[in-house]
Amino acid sequence: MKQIFGLFLVAATVFGCSNSAKQPSKQSEDIQATDMHTSRTSLNYYGMYSGTVPCADCEGIETTIILGDTDYSIKTVYLGKNKTEYKETGVYSWNENGQIITLEGIKNAPNQYFVGENYLKQLDMNGDEITGQWAEMYILRKD
């Protein structure tokens, strides 16, 4: 009887240890959860964003972007040139990291934006962050 009980304890210990080794630790679960947070999944990004971005041959480009579920509308006015409002609508897509949107259908103009908490940051024509003394001027604030 003692031998059977002893074998039972050994088996329980061996299987108990090997079973716990297969389960992820709390720490690895926390790391995985942290890695899954993106602008797309963590932020309330729907809404209207506006600001005036720099312009090479005018006083600035007054820009308003409205983001819906998968669609966008953008309105731009070139200040100091004319009062014409340029409007474009379409759909946007996310990069695989869930941080940057691309406004589909816009040609020959910046169409990528980093999505932050209550702001969009316009990226350059190559999709890179604009740096330098004017960098803050490329941010559109959520209204």
- Number of domains making up the chain: 2
pLDDT digits (tens, 9 = 90+) for 96-112: 999 999 999 998 889 99
Looking at the structure, do residues 111 and 53 belong to the same domain, yes or no? yes
Based on the fold, state whether residues 60 and 117 are members of the same structural domain.
Answer: yes
- The range of the structural domain enclosing residue 53 comes to 45-142
- The single-letter DSSP state of residue 39 is H
Which own/partner contact pairs does 88-94 have at CB distance under 8 Å and 24+ positions apart?
92/67, 94/40
Do 76 and 109 lie in one domain? The reply is yes
Q: What long-range pairs does 99-107 form, CB within 8 A, spacing at least 24? A: 99/38, 99/39, 99/40, 100/127, 101/67, 101/72, 103/65, 103/72, 103/74, 106/74
Whether 50 and 31 map to the same domain: the answer is no
- Is there a single domain that holds both residue 87 and residue 69? yes
Query: 94 and 137 share a domain?
Result: yes
The per-residue pLDDT for 35 is 55
Is residue 19 located within the same domain as residue 49? Answer: no
Same domain for 110 and 56, yes or no, is yes
Does residue 53 share a domain with residue 32?
no
Whether 84 and 126 share a structural domain: yes
- Tell me which residues of the chain have a pLDDT lower than 50: 1-22, 24-34
Q: Are residues 77 and 132 in the same domain?
A: yes
Whole-model pTM: value is: 0.74
Q: What is the token pair recorded at 65? A: 């972007």
Same domain, 49 and 98: yes
**What pLDDT score does 82 carry?**
84
* Domain of residue 130, CATH code: 2.40.128.640
